[in-house]
Amino acid sequence: MSAAEAAAMRRALALAAGGPPHGPNPRVGCVLLGPHGDVLAEGRHEGAGTPHAEVAALAAARAAGRPTAGATAVVTLEPCRHTGRTGPCTRALVEAGVARVVAAVEDPGPRAGGGAEELRAAGVDVVVGHAREEAEALTRYWRHAVATGRPFVTLKWASTLDGRVAAPDGTSRWLTGAPARADVHRRRAGADAVVVGTGTALVDDPWLTTRDPGTDRPLPRQPLRTVVGRRPLPPGARLLDDAAETLLLPTHDVEAVLTALAEREVRHAWVEGGPTLAAAFLRAGAVDEVVAYLAPALLGGGPAVVADLGAVSVRDTVRLDLVSVETVGGDVALVARPRRGPARTSSTTSTTSTTSTTGTTAAAPASAPAGRTS
C-alpha cells in the first residue's frame, strides 16, 4: 500500500465509525483516490435502503465532475456482489472504471461475499487485509450475526462482591452507584434489543429504555424490549407502555429466543435478565460477552448472579477471558468473554406459540442473515 492509500484507509475507517451503529447492515466507509493519490470523493453507508459506501463515493465524484477511470477505491469492507435493496458494488466499481480496490476485511455473507474475486475476474487489482483489526471491530456484531445466524449476545449484571444481585427480601435498587447506571445506559444504547425474563419484569417492573444520563430523558432511538417467559405481564406494566416496542416471547428455549430476534434483524442482544435467564443463556453456550458491574459491598445472602449451571466439580467451571476492567464511580465494570467449548444442553423446554399484546409484537420464524440487505 502507498502512503496515500494508508491515509485514505484511516479516513475510510473514520467515515465508517460515524455511520449508524444500529440496523441490519454494517458500518462502511470508502475513499476514492485518483491515479496520482489525490482524493476524488468519499462516502459512507447511512443505513438500510441507502447506497453503499462505494456507490455513495462514486456519486459524489460524479457530482463534483471528477472522472473515476483508473481510480483506487479504499474501503473498509470488501465490496458486495449481490443485489438487495441496492445493486452490487462490484458492478458499480467496474462500470466506473475503478482500477484498484483496497479493502480492510472480507465480507462474510454467503451472498454478498466474494466480491474481491469478482473484481479480479473483471481485471481490477484487489488488495484485502490492511487495517483488518480496526475494520473488524467496527463490524463486530454484524459479522457475528452473519456468520452464526444469530445475534451477538452480551450478558450484563450488577452484583455485590460476594456475587449477590439482590437482598434476601428481593430488593436490588441500587447495588451500584449513579455512574455505573449511566454506563449501563450508554452500553445498552449500543444494542438492538434488550432482553429480560418475566421474573425480572414482574419483580422490578423496569422500563428497559435508554436514557440520557444528564437529563434522564429517553433517547430518540430505543432498543427492542424483549420479555422471555410464559407468565403474563399485568396491564399496567411499564414494559407495555409506548416508550419503546416490546416483543413478548412465551418460551424458555434460548434457541427460540435467538431465532425470533434474528428474524427481527437484531444483530446485538443485551441480556439483562436475572439469575435464571443468565444461566439459561450460559448453559446454551449463547453468551458471547459478559459485562459485570461489581459494587464494593457484601450481602451474605440473597440470589446469586447465575442460577445452577449444572456444575458438580471445579472441572465444570465456565471459564471466561478477561477483556477489560475499569473503575466507574465507586464501582468496577468488568468485561469478559467465555472460552468456547461444547455448548451445554439447556434443561428448559420450548413452546412455539406466540401471543400478541397491546403495544407488543409477536415472534415469527427466522432465517439466518444473509449479509448486507441494502
Asked if residue 64 has pLDDT above 80, the reply is yes
66 grid coordinates: 471528477
Q: Which residue, 320, 339, 328, is CA-closest to 293?
A: 328
Please confirm, yes or no, whether 54 is among the known catalytic residues.
yes
CATH architecture under which domain 3-138 falls: 3-Layer(aba) Sandwich (3.40)
CB 124 within 8 Å of CB 99 = yes
Instruction: Average the pLDDT over 91-114 and give the result.
Output: 88
Tell me the pLDDT of the chain averaged across its residues.
87
201-248 pLDDT, tens digit each: 998 898 998 887 777 788 888 999 999 999 999 999 999 998 899 999
Split at pLDDT 50, 70, 90, the class of 348 is very low
The helix/strand/coil state of 87 is coil
Of the ranges 41-50, 58-67, 175-184, which is most confident? Answer: 58-67
What residue segments make up the domains of the chain, in order of their start?
3-138, 150-362
Residues 46-60, mean pLDDT to the nearest whole number: 92
Q: Which of 54, 118, 265, 289 is catalytic?
A: 54
Q: What does pTM read for this prediction?
A: 0.83
**Cα separation, 253 vs 272, whole angstroms:** 16
pLDDT, residue 356, reads 34
Higher per-residue confidence, 48 vs 9: 9
Q: What is the pLDDT of residues 244-291, one digit of tens each?
A: 999 999 999 999 999 999 999 999 999 997 899 999 999 999 999 999
Lowest-confidence region among 77-91, 139-153, 183-197:
77-91
How much is the average pLDDT of 135-150?
92
Superfamily of the domain at 150-362: Dihydrofolate Reductase, subunit A (3.40.430.10)
Contact 15, 7 (CB under 8 A): no
The three three-digit cell numbers of residue 204, written as one number: 422490578
Average pLDDT over residues 69-88: 87
Q: Which pLDDT value is given to residue 90?
A: 94
Q: Is the pLDDT of residue 36 over 80?
A: yes
